[in-house]
């Protein structure tokens, strides 16, 4: 299959690290075939490595994540080819000797890493990140790498690197990670203290190293760090006078330099972002943020680039003859003098990762080349495969249409819906957006109510990317998942029922706390999703997303054991419906029957609920039970996912009975679905989930009447566009750009697209 790369940068990129997730139909790719995978450039094998991220129930491979070193031409598109059989492949997955392979070795408590240019060692239970570090024969002392250092309540907390592990070890790309904690000499931190992970990623024969630091608040309190710093010091009595430079951009990079080693610095605040014009979709790129010291001795310089610094403000960098300082959180007290944005506040159980690139280079390297690498780091080349690859693999529902069947106005509307959401800058906010409706209703007590990836926004975006190949859809999904894995999941709590669960939409992301003690958030099965995280693992190869999905699934199982879920009909369809969706997805992904066992239990509850009321009715006022069409549709959609995985006549009958009940009782005379079944609530509904129910009815029966019931709602929704806004305002700890919650697209994409495909193929919608 072809892997396409669109035209991007004007200069050639030689042996650029590229990666892509690729699906395969059931039965097509066996383990034997996997061992013979290769990427070709003009018929020649290029350096590559592969890993399986998912299998089918028959053991064949479902998803592969491929990494390879490909050369991309300036101002031109490029195609590579992924092959599973070739006379050039000898079964050992070897390739032409074009690079120096990565080597990662672990001996007892020490890991050694080399990529041909950079060599370093790390050891367990040390205070320094590196025990030795050499770049191109230049030896850095371990004391030169200082940090991460956390300052809290006026005290300096130094890191202890506890255990290092090899996460990925391949011929062209390797990852190691340390778990650790910040030293609490006074024993004043509650709970388990403040933990961190430090992840190092290295590419063969490249003079750079990515550092990813995740801070995890495992105390029982909220914390507002004074400062979080990583420093590369320029030590020695006979230091040369280096060129020092900082650069920031959103179009052309603005450099500030000194040829005399004087300190130069830049700080990103809410006010800076509010006043700066920027037309980018910032999930793809905002600009760059870099600091460089040209000489650390022996003619070696270092450039540091903070990934998505503007999006994750506040940030600061400085370069001087003393070295580089990377302020992942600048001094809180200084910021309070120049910015009205609230300080970054980690609630109990909250985590957040920040990333930066350390680029080692010759002292006389041109700024253009350093800036070039910094910008590429912010917006790497991203490939895609033809949509037919996803369609034929059947890893997603029926959301694909051949180009000659597509309706331009519908396709345009779907793209507009995907683009129309708020972007919220801020270290704890980037990747999420508040819901203006929930906020206006007062659900946050006057604060913003964050959606916390309600309705699984990343899953909708990954499907949109699969059916269009539009790069920014992938970026939207990835950014949301990074936030989700850190902020929206509970990483610590004194009550085990919350651990690894996903917080429901609420204030301060996790519910916040008035007294700084713990979180007052809500966790419910109706607001815990996993499909987007599983997609993220397939599309990026990041195993942490898979682990997060498993953790959420375990939390769902624990919640389902609590008393409130033991009475069928007492909990709305949405509650256990979303749980069924997540458990089914985990069963499909892992083939572990523990997920299916609990899913079977939920199906049984739906049957009991139906028997109790005659249909899926929900208690509303003390003396009414009503139909809530969109909640019933949640249950229908989840049961259909279960049915596709475990076909059953009784489940099919249950689904169709619920769909017919909606048709008979939940429509207005004009042909729209109403909101809820009470005189005070039976207004025109705008929830697209009922379209998914109609499409499911058609799929199960072939009866076109189900599509006819949904046509007016579909056309109304496709014609309802809000557009993209770039207006900015500072609220709490975020700079909000535009408006609209991400949940709008998350909720509407699959119902609209699934219905659209069925209706077009049944000739219900014409060009």
pLDDT tens digits for range 220-255: 999 999 999 999 999 875 678 899 999 999 999 999
Packing angle of the helix pair 457-468, 408-419 (nearest 10 deg): 140
pLDDT exceeds cutoff 60 at 502: yes
pLDDT exceeds cutoff 80 at 117: yes
H or E element in which residue 197 lies: strand 194-203
Answer for the pair 204, 281: CB distance below 8 angstroms, yes or no: no
> In angstroms, what CA-CA distances link 62 with 81, 259, 551, 570?
19, 55, 22, 39
∠ CA 365-16-458, rounded to 5°: 120
∠ CA 743-744-748, rounded to 5°: 110
Q: Tell me which architecture the domain covering 387-761 has in CATH.
A: Alpha/alpha barrel (1.50)
Average pLDDT over residues 345-367: 97
Give 2-83's CATH code, choosing from 2.20.200, 2.60.40, 2.60.120, 3.30.379: 2.60.40
In a 3-state reduction of DSSP, which class is residue 669? coil
Among 597, 592, 506, 504, residue whose Cα is nearest residue 550: 592
Joined together, the tokens standing for residue 759 give: 């209706």
> In angstroms, what CA-CA distances link 750 with 56, 546, 746?
23, 22, 8
Average pLDDT over residues 326-337: 97
What predicted TM-score, i.e. pTM, was given to this entire model? 0.96
Answer for the pair 102, 174: CB distance below 8 angstroms, yes or no: yes
pLDDT exceeds cutoff 50 at 91: no
Average pLDDT over residues 286-313: 97
pLDDT exceeds cutoff 60 at 93: no
H or E element in which residue 20 lies: strand 13-23
Question: For position 766, what pLDDT does the model report?
Answer: 74
Question: For position 97, what pLDDT does the model report?
Answer: 45
∠ CA 38-467-639, rounded to 5°: 105
End-to-end CA distance of the chain: 30
Ramachandran sector of residue 530 (left: φ over 0; alpha: ψ -120 to 50; beta: rest): alpha
Answer for the pair 124, 180: CB distance below 8 angstroms, yes or no: no
Average pLDDT over residues 360-367: 97
Answer for the pair 419, 723: CB distance below 8 angstroms, yes or no: no
Identify the band that residue 435 occupies on the pLDDT scale cut at 50, 70 and 90.
very high
pLDDT exceeds cutoff 70 at 328: yes
pLDDT exceeds cutoff 60 at 98: no
Question: For position 96, what pLDDT does the model report?
Answer: 43
Average pLDDT over residues 154-164: 97
Long-range contacts of 101-109, Cβ-Cβ distance < 8 Å, separation of 24 or more: 101/171, 101/172, 101/204, 102/169, 102/170, 102/171, 102/172, 102/173, 102/174, 102/202, 102/203, 102/204, 104/166, 104/169, 104/174, 104/176, 106/164, 106/166, 109/164
Alpha-carbon distance 528 to 452, whole Å?
Answer: 10
Question: For position 87, what pLDDT does the model report?
Answer: 55
Average pLDDT over residues 664-681: 92
DSSP state of 141: P
H or E element in which residue 174 lies: strand 173-182
Question: For position 767, what pLDDT does the model report?
Answer: 62
Joined together, the tokens standing for residue 595 give: 């997920």
DSSP letter string, 613-644 = HSS--EE-STT-EE--HHHHHHHHHHHHHHHH
- Please report the beta strands in 335-422, taking only residues with DSSP state E, as ranges in sequence order: 351-362, 383-384
- Mean pLDDT (the chain) is 94
Question: For position 526, what pLDDT does the model report?
Answer: 87
Packing angle of the helix pair 471-486, 543-560 (nearest 10 deg): 50
Average pLDDT over residues 264-291: 97
Give 103-378's CATH code, choosing from 2.70.98.60, 1.10.3720.10, 3.10.20.520, 2.40.160.20: 2.70.98.60
Question: For position 198, what pLDDT does the model report?
Answer: 98
List the chain domain ranges.
Answer: 2-83, 103-378, 387-761
Alpha-carbon distance 109 to 704, whole Å?
Answer: 65
pLDDT digits (tens, 9 = 90+) for 541-578: 999 999 999 999 999 999 999 988 887 766 766 688 89
H or E element in which residue 390 lies: helix 387-393
In a 3-state reduction of DSSP, which class is residue 254? strand
Percentage of the residues of the chain whose pLDDT score is greater than 90: 87
């Amino acid at each position: 299959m072809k892997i396409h790369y669109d035209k991007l940068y004007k200069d050639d990129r030689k042996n650029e690290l590229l990666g892509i997730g690729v699906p395969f139909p059931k039965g097509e790719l066996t383990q034997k075939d996997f061992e013979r995978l290769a990427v070709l450039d003009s018929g020649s094998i290029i350096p590559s490595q592969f890993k399986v991220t998912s299998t089918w129930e028959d053991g064949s491979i479902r998803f592969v994540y491929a990494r390879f070193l490909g050369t991309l031409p300036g101002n031109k598109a490029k195609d590579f080819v992924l092959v599973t059989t070739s006379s050039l492949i000898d079964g050992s997955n070897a390739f032409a000797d074009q690079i120096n392979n990565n080597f990662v070795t672990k001996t007892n408590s020490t890991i050694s890493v080399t990529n041909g240019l950079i060599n370093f060692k790390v050891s367990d239970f040390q205070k320094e990140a590196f025990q030795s570090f050499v770049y191109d024969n230049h030896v850095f002392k371990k004391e030169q790498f200082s940090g991460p250092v956390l300052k809290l309540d006026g005290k300096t907390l130094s890191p202890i690197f506890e255990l290092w592990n090899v996460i990925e070890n391949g011929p062209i790309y390797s990852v190691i990670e340390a778990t650790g904690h910040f030293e609490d000499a006074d024993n004043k931190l509650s709970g388990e203290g403040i933990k961190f992970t430090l992840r190092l990623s290295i590419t063969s024969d490249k003079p750079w190293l990515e550092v990813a630091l995740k801070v995890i608040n495992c105390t029982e309190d909220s914390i507002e760090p004074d400062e979080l710093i990583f420093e590369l010091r320029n030590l020695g009595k006979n230091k040369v006078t280096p060129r020092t430079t900082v650069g920031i951009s959103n179009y052309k990079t603005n450099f500030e330099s000194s040829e005399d080693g004087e300190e130069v610095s830049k700080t990103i605040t809410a006010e800076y972002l509010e006043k700066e014009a920027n037309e980018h979709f910032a999930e793809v790129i905002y600009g760059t943020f870099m600091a460089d010291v040209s000489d650390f001795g022996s003619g070696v310089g270092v450039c540091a680039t903070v990934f998505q610094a503007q999006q994750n403000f506040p940030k600061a960098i400085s370069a001087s003859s003393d070295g580089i300082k990377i302020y992942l959180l600048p001094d809180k007290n200084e910021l309070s003098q120049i910015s009205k944005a609230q300080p970054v506040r980690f609630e109990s159980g909250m985590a957040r990762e920040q990333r930066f690139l350390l680029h080692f280079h010759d002292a006389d390297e041109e700024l253009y080349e350093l800036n070039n690498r910094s910008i590429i780091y912010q917006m790497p080349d991203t490939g895609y495969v033809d949509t037919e690859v996803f369609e034929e693999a059947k890893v997603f529902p029926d959301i694909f249409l051949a180009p000659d069947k597509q309706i331009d106005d519908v396709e345009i509307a779907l793209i507009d819906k995907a683009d129309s959401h708020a972007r919220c800058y801020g270290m704890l906010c980037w990747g999420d957006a508040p819901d203006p409706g929930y906020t206006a209703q007062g659900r946050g007590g006057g604060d913003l109510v964050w959606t916390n990836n309600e309705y699984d926004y990343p899953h909708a975006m990954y499907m949109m990317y699969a059916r269009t190949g539009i790069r920014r859809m992938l970026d939207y999904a990835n950014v949301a998942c990074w936030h989700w894995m850190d902020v929206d999941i509970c990483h610590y709590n004194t009550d085990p029922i919350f651990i690894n669960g996903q917080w429901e939409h609420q204030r301060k992301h996790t519910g916040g706390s008035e007294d700084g003690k713990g979180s007052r958030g809500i966790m419910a099965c109706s607001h815990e999703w996993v499909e987007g995280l599983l997609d993220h693992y397939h599309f990026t190869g990041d195993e942490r997303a898979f682990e997060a999905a498993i953790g959420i699934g375990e939390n769902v199982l624990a919640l389902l054991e609590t008393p409130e879920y033991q009475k069928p009909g007492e909990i709305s369809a949405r509650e256990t419906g979303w749980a069924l969706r997540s458990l089914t997805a985990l069963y499909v992904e892992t083939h572990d029957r523990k997920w299916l066992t609990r899913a079977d239990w939920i199906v049984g509850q739906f049957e009991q609920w139906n028997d109790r009321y005659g249909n899926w009715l929900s208690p509303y006022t003390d003396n009414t039970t009503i139909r809530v069409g969109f909640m019933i549709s949640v249950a229908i959609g989840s049961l259909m996912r279960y049915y596709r995985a475990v076909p059953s006549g009784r489940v099919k009958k249950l689904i169709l009975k619920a769909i017919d009940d909606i048709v008979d009782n939940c429509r207005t005379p004009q042909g729209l679905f109403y909101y809820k079944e009470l005189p005070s609530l039976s207004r025109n509904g705008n929830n697209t989930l009922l379209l998914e129910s109609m499409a499911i009815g058609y799929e199960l029966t072939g009866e076109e009447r189900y599509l006819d019931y949904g046509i007016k709602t579909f056309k109304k929704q496709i014609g309802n566009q809000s557009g993209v806004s770039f207006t900015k305002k500072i609220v709490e700890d975020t700079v909000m750009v535009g408006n609209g919650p991400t949940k709008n697209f998350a909720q509407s994409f699959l119902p609209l697209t699934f219905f659209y495909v069925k209706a077009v193929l049944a000739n219900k919608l014409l060009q």
